[in-house]
């Protein structure tokens, strides 16, 4: 038996052997990582015994909370019965079949088929191939361009990273051709002075139409977007944005892809974000909340009218070893059972969502907060030295990181994106825990404000 290692030992080994994602690994090694040892409900415990409220559901995924034996048991039972088999070459198995049928039931009516993957990134790579294959079969192979948005996140593989609009990622790995990025609907950060959110929402939506016209509709295959941009900082579009996008997608011969890796499975108060915002996607991208993160799994729902064309085209030469992995599908089925039985989507819409939103939006009165949007159980706090002028701090990201570190010390995981703090807690978070989350967030704002006063960055 191996003895438990001390925190110092774990940190040293981690620094010596582990390259962390999206990290400055030298700085991280010097500073030392936080070692998480267990979790229950919405609470994490680190190797020093600190209990931390997980305001981010891990990485936007643990929707049903930690410690669900039902999922663990379903996975263990499946692994004893059939730990692995593939879904290539004329074979299949019950977990993949049951999950595919379940997803057809839970997703909007245009969907009855799913392509399984292992992650959100793999799902978006799959989307690119599906979209291009669709127009090849329709004998419009010149329709190849996919329109996306700046500051979108669609994953980290070469192709998914290209769909995403993250400049720091593109600087390190040039995007693939035939992806074009338009403006994001980020009113607080990007509207002109005097432009209302409604005006700005229409203007940014119409950038889609203008781009289709400029490049030629005969070259555009699809538009991809997250209902609420998550990793980009929880960018909640003005009310005019989605209806206008929906109109443009209806009028033009392009496919619309809703990337629901974060917004899916109850996060926004409906099963899927497209239902909250009233869009009609042709493909719906899933991962994260499909298993609440207990096992890695992703998928792409493909609308019937697209499937019909794909079926005419014969072989689709694409797939992953772990497409429809039986143990991951078993985790998803158990997870979805919990969501249905405990009515977690309804809970977000009618109880937890409104409860947290009322308290969260009140944080906008804090002198440091410019806006405090929340949809369902996902929200953001824009930190600013000047609310009315919508001014940004110098050295973007410094204040966000400062506040994020205070939050950690206060026992609350919030993520910082630029100078925006964001939360997406598990959908099971209780009223008492939401009160605790708000108290810790408020303390974090006060401490950050006091520090910025010492720096002379606020008056
Ligand atoms: N689409 C969206 C909308 C996502 O949020 C992906 C695709 C890619 O999924 P995978 O499973 O390949 O990671 C994501 C992932 C962050 C953060 O820092 C967000 C994600 C991943 C890692 C970090 O907020 N989202």
What is the pLDDT averaged over residues 184-192?
97
What is the pLDDT averaged over residues 72-99?
97
When pLDDT is cut at 50, 70 and 90, the band that residue 368 belongs to is very high
Output the pLDDT for position 459: 84
pTM: 0.98
Ligand 1 site, residue 155, Cβ cutoff 6 A: yes
Please give the distance, rounded to the nearest whole angstrom, from the Cα atom of residue 199 to the centre of ligand 1: 30
Ligand 1 site, residue 153, Cβ cutoff 6 A: yes
- Picking from 178, 136, 131, the residue whose alpha carbon sits closest to that of residue 281 is 131
What are the start and end residues of each CATH 3.90.1150.10 domain in the chain? 34-64+343-455
When pLDDT is cut at 50, 70 and 90, the band that residue 4 belongs to is confident
Please give the distance, rounded to the nearest whole angstrom, from the Cα atom of residue 300 to the centre of ligand 1: 15
Residues 6 or more apart whose Cβ sits within 8 Å of residue 424:
55, 56, 57, 60, 230, 234, 262, 267, 377, 378, 379
pLDDT tens readout for residues 312-321:
999 999 999 9
Ligand 1 site, residue 118, Cβ cutoff 6 A: no
At residue 21, does pLDDT exceed 70? yes
Please give the distance, rounded to the nearest whole angstrom, from the Cα atom of residue 154 to the centre of ligand 1: 6
**Nearest ligand 1 atom, CA 287:** 11
Pick the CATH number of 70-341 from 3.40.640.10, 3.40.50.10320, 3.10.20.740, 3.40.710.10: 3.40.640.10
Please give the distance, rounded to the nearest whole angstrom, from the Cα atom of residue 193 to the centre of ligand 1: 32
Output the pLDDT for position 32: 87
Q: DSSP letters along 307-365, please?
A: HHHHHHT-------TTTT-HHHHHHHHHHHHHHHHTTHHHHIIIIIHHHHHHHHHHGGG
When pLDDT is cut at 50, 70 and 90, the band that residue 135 belongs to is very high
The pick from 155, 289, 293 for probing ligand 1's pocket by mutation, whose C-beta has the most ligand atoms within 8 angstroms, reads: 155
At residue 286, φ and ψ (nearest 5 deg) are -130, 155
What is the pLDDT averaged over residues 7-22?
95
At residue 2, does pLDDT exceed 80? no
Ligand 1 site, residue 154, Cβ cutoff 6 A: yes
When pLDDT is cut at 50, 70 and 90, the band that residue 75 belongs to is very high
Output the pLDDT for position 1: 53
**Assigned CATH for 34-64+343-455:** 3.90.1150.10
């Amino acid at each position: 038996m191996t003895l438990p290692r001390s925190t110092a030992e774990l940190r040293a080994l981690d620094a010596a052997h582990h390259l962390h994602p999206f990290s400055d690994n030298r700085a991280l090694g010097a500073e030392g990582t936080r070692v998480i040892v267990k979790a229950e409900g919405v609470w994490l415990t680190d190797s020093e015994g600190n209990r931390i409220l997980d305001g981010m559901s891990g990485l936007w995924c643990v929707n049903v909370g930690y410690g669900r034996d039902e999922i663990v048991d379903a996975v263990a039972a499946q692994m004893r019965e059939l730990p692995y088999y593939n879904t290539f070459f004329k074979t299949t198995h019950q977990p993949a079949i049951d999950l595919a049928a379940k997803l057809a039931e839970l997703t909007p009516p245009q969907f009855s088929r799913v392509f399984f993957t292992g992650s959100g990134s793999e799902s978006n790579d799959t989307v690119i191939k599906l979209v291009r294959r669709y127009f090849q079969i329709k004998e419009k192979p010149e329709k190849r361009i996919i329109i996306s948005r700046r500051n979108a996140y669609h994953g980290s593989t070469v192709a998914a990273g290209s769909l995403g609009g993250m400049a720091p990622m593109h600087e390190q790995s040039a995007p693939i051709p035939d992806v074009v990025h338009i403006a994001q609907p980020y009113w607080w950060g990007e509207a002109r002075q005097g432009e209302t959110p409604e005006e700005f929402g229409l203007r940014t939506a119409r950038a889609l139409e203008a781009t289709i016209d400029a490049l030629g509709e005969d070259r555009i295959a699809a538009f991809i977007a997250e209902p609420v941009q998550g990793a980009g900082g929880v960018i909640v579009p003005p009310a005019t944005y989605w209806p206008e996008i929906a109109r443009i997608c209806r009028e033009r011969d392009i496919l619309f892809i809703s990337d629901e890796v974060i917004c899916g499975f109850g996060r926004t108060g409906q099963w899927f974000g497209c239902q909250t915002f009233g869009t009609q996607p042709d493909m719906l991208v899933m991962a994260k909340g499909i298993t609440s993160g207990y096992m890695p799994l992703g998928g792409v729902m493909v609308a019937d009218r697209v499937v019909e064309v794909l079926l005419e085209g014969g072989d689709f030469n694409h797939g992953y070893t772990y497409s429809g992995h039986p143990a991951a599908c078993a985790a998803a089925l158990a997870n979805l059972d919990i969501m249905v039985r405990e009515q977690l989507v309804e809970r977000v819409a009618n109880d937890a969502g409104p409860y947290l939103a009322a308290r969260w939006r009140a944080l906008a009165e804090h002198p440091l907060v410019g806006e405090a949007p929340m949809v369902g159980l996902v929200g953001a706090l824009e930190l600013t030295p000047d609310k009315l002028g919508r001014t940004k701090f110098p050295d973007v990201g410094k204040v966000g990181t400062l506040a994020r570190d205070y939050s950690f010390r206060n026992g609350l995981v919030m993520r910082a994106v630029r100078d925006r703090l964001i939360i997406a807690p598990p959908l099971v978070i209780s009223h008492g825990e939401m009160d605790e989350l708000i108290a810790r967030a408020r303390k974090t704002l006060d401490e950050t404000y006091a520090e910025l006063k010492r720096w002379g960055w606020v008056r």
